[in-house]
Chain A
């Protein structure tokens, strides 16, 4: 399975070039929120694009740009289903009750597909919190691997909004110092960020038949559950470790073959040590050698879009030969000892890289990409 096209938008701007330049700058995109009133909130920072962009417009644009990037013809698009990762239609919570049944995620997904000429048959909407997009990518790869599809367009989108901001603030998980510091001593939580991403995933044969050059391979994937708690990760990362192991096995590679890990790295007290433990369990000694960063420290936590935005960051960085920094680091936490990329982006050309995501419900995903 190969990726033949990608598109993104984030607080660094629209387009994959802006995203790569932003994360390689090492400068986090967090700033005081101006999109809505945060006067009553404990924390007032997020990583947002200017203004109040609309989710439907942004996701449709990204999915269309990914198709353009993959040089998909109108007839190619018309045969390609869309898997979309979103929280839901942003309009539903304030709609009159009579209108709510028409504002489900499926009509929204169908509208995105129609807006960029993709097949309206076979659309699927993923609403599995922070593993939504990564699960969609794993499913797309698995379907193509098993011959159930030739090509799937996977998109995801989250734009920082007043309701999720209020919920995360009420849950006291936002970083009140305005910085996300994954795996660091003194970390104080996560910050939300705008994120929109789309990738075209297809079989190597399909890409070859169209003479479309692959930008990366989806080499392996794993998806597991912790069976531990409604919203806390297993403290030793047992579920995430199984996802990492499954992804490596599918890719047919050893832990030592990984040249970079874009960690889930939420920057919260419980999640980071659990993830470090998972990496030690799954990778053994290699966990101390492979360069790790969490790009959430730069573009923020983009919720349902995380899996696709962070996969795009990972593949762009691997292709560029520069690994993004783990920003905000203050000092070592003994429970989170990893080979973090600190101070500045690291020159390296990993043959294989991994992107990790975890979510409420103990849901875990691991995606391995390889350079073509």
Chain B
């Protein structure tokens, strides 16, 4: 049996670099594609037509399953999403439907903001911290550090999704971070 070749991930490297710059400790991480076996992400019930939410859920789930120790029951985990363009596939489909007079699916309403898949993740993994979506990797990790520093979260799951717009494949990466080991509790 041939081992699956790992795929280099610029997105994951950028998350690690931004985490280091923000003085955060990385508990676990994951990316998509991770090996040659990562073709299409598994469908996510209730989310249609776009890979944005299924990819986000897949990489986040991988990172959460890989955490070194079980999540302490009282730990508060923030969900911080990072995306340069958002769910551009869904936005384009909705615009096309509006312009052609076609029916807009109610499911498209529920996935019209990145918060919806964050809510799915939060419910699935019991993540009770703040939910946010920002535009850049550094901003996402800086925000994670601030939420931990400010005691609104003990740890943060930062997930970046970039849908392929002009070629190449969809890409995603996730990182679970806590404050620095020497951090003083407020």
Contact = CB atoms under 8 A, between A and B. Distances in A.
Interface of A: 40, 87-88, 92-94, 97-98, 100-101, 103-106, 109, 124-129, 131-132, 135, 139, 142-143, 145-146, 148, 162-164, 166-173, 222-231, 239, 242, 246, 359-363, 365
Interface stretch (B3-11, B35-43, B59-67, B102-110): B102-110
Contact of A127 (B86, B92, B106, B125): B86
Residue from A139, A162, A361 having most chain B Cβ neighbours under 10 A: A361
B104 A166 contact: yes
Contacts, number: 191
Nearest to B99: A94
Given A167-B109, A242-B128, 7 more contacts: A127-B113, A127-B114, A135-B132, A142-B146, A227-B126, A359-B115, A361-B119
Nearest to B163: A100
A129 B115 contact: yes
B175 interface: no
Contact of A97 (B110, B134, B165): B165
B127 interface: yes
Interface of B: 46, 78-79, 83-86, 88, 91-92, 94-95, 97-99, 101, 103-106, 108-110, 112-120, 122-123, 125-136, 139, 143, 146-147, 149-150, 152, 165-166
Given A104-B135, A222-B152, A170 B108 contact: yes
B136 to A, nearest CB: 6
B18 to A, nearest CB: 13
Contact of B113 (A105, A226, A239, A359): A359
B125 to A, nearest CB: 8
Contacts of B122: 225-228, 361-362
A173 to B, nearest CB: 8
Contact of A92 (B91, B115, B133): B91
A93 B96 CA distance: 8
Nearest to B124: A227
Contacts of A360: 110, 113, 115-116, 119
Contacts of B129: 224-225
A227 B114 CA distance: 15
Contacts of A359: 113, 115, 131
Contacts of A40: 101
Contact of B115 (A139, A239, A242, A363): A363
Contacts of B98: 162-163, 166
Residue from A106, A129, A172 having most chain B Cβ neighbours under 10 A: A129
Given A97-B165, A135-B130, A226 B119 contact: yes
Nearest to B114: A127
A92 B85 contact: yes
A166 to B, nearest CB: 5
A92 B88 contact: yes
Which 10 residue pairs of A and B lie closest in terms of their CB atoms, listed nearest first? A361-B115, A171-B109, A361-B119, A93-B95, A125-B135, A223-B130, A363-B131, A230-B119, A129-B113, A360-B115
B136 A124 contact: yes
Residue from A109, A131, A225, A229 having most chain B Cβ neighbours under 10 A: A225
A246 B123 contact: no
Nearest to A141: B150
Contact of A225 (B95, B99, B131): B131
Nearest to B135: A125
Given A98-B166, A170-B105, A360-B119, A224 B130 contact: yes
Contact of B106 (A131, A142, A171): A171
B171 to A, nearest CB: 13
A101 B85 CA distance: 7
A228 to B, nearest CB: 6
Contact of A171 (B110, B135, B146): B110
Nearest to B139: A124
Contacts of A231: 110, 116, 119
Given A92-B85, A171-B109, A228-B123, A146 B149 contact: yes
B115 A128 contact: yes
B123 A230 contact: yes
